[in-house]
Structure 1
Amino acid sequence: MRNGSRPRWSAKANALLEEVGWRPGRSVSAAEWERGLQEHDGFEIHPMAQRFLAEFGGLNVTRLYVGTFTEVRAEVVLDPALAKGNRESFDVLSADVGAELYPLGMTANRRAYLGMTSAGTVYAGMTDACFLGESGDQALDRLVGQIM
């Protein structure tokens, strides 16, 4: 719970995040990602992305569902280095939302980038941006909470 009020996200999302290594107070350095993306592509990290990546960076939520005729993989990878060399894609997505997006990782089986504005709003996409939430918590609940 946050500030004694309501939970940050669904119980399902919480369980999956804990399963892959998240815990309250988790903190990892985002310095290597920040440096690599800045040097290679000119990305400038902002405080909201820095806080989000310190708490969630490096997590990978993946599930494989095997049916009679199909196999479906659901994945959320919180690794901003996946955007290295793809500044142009982020420029397109940023223009689509009207704000600069900083890379957070990928989703949709690595077919969509995740990006965050300096206000904390999160989007996904490759050529068109899809709104995921007003905050990293809302986006995680939407993304991770949908994985069974």
Structure 2
Amino acid sequence: MSFIKKSGLIIILGLIACTAVSGDDSMDDLVKVKINDEVFDVKLENNSATQELVEELKKGNVTVNASEYGGFEKVGELGFSLSTSDENIGTNPGDIVLYQGDKISLFYGSHSWSYTKLGKIDNVDSNKLKEVLGSGDVTLEFSLK
């Protein structure tokens, strides 16, 4: 085998190895969520629900009218259902989860329950998030970046 063919084969194998190693649990897709006048980046998980959500977002923005629940989250009807892969998870401020297949919860506090994790607001400051969400109902507008 010539030097050029060997070099090409090594480069191709190296690229394949790098691609396999660099995989993680998050999708490359970023969505945005607008809360009042503040816009936050959301890093999505890689699961069926987020893939379906991205397909819905390709059709247009998704608006969720969310209400206060439990002193740690805002929850509202999605308007359609997504696939679930519920697990008992602990949430933290900025986590966005699917509940019962058709509700979205955005956490500003912590809680444990059976959810399908959708994503997390990037670089969120929990005090700022709680301030933006306020004490009453809020509109969450999800869009593709």
TM-score for both structures, normalised by structure 2: 0.30
Larger Rg: 2
More contact order relative to length (CA 8 Å, sep ≥ 6)? 2
Structure having the higher strand fraction is 2
Structure having the higher helix fraction is 1
TM-score for both structures, normalised by structure 1: 0.29
